[in-house]
Amino acid sequence: MRLLRLGLVLGVILTSLVAPPRSVAQTSTNDRDLRELQRLEAVWNEAHEQGNAGALEALWADDLEVAVPRMPVMTKNVALNFARTGQMKFLRYATSDLHIRVYGDAAVVTGRLQRIRAMNGKEVSDDWRFTKVYVREEQKWRVVAFHASEAAQPE
CATH code (residue 101): 3.10.450.50
Q: Is residue 98 part of a domain?
A: yes
55 assigned to some structural domain: yes
Asked if residue 40 lies in contact with residue 141, where contact means CB atoms within 8 angstroms, the answer is: yes
Residue 155 in any domain: the answer is no
| Domains identified in the chain, total number | 1
Closest C-alpha to 100, from 29, 49, 4 = 29
Element (H, E) at 44: helix 31-50
Q: How far apart are CA 75 and CA 93, in angstroms?
A: 21
| Residue 5: predicted pLDDT | 52
Residues 78, 84: Cα–Cα separation, whole Å: 10
Domain that holds residue 145: 2-150
pLDDT recorded at residue 2: 54
Inside any domain, residue 89: yes
CB atoms near residue 25 (< 10 Å): 8
From residue 76, alpha-carbon distances to 26, 61, 98, 143 in Å are 32, 8, 23, 10
- Over residues 111-146, the pLDDT tens digits come to 999 999 998 889 999 999 999 999 999 999 999 999
pLDDT in tens, 25-62: 444 458 999 999 999 999 999 999 999 999 999 999 99
User: Is 136 a domain residue?
Assistant: yes
- How distant is the alpha carbon of residue 1 from its chain centre? 21
pLDDT confidence bin for 15, thresholds 50/70/90: very low
- The answer to whether position 16 is within a domain reads yes
- For the chain, the average pLDDT equals 86
CB-count burial class (<10 Å; 0-12, 13-18, 19+) for 111:
middle
User: Do 39 and 51 touch, CB atoms closer than 8 A?
Assistant: no
- Residue 146 located in a structural domain: yes
* pLDDT (average), residues 92-96: 96
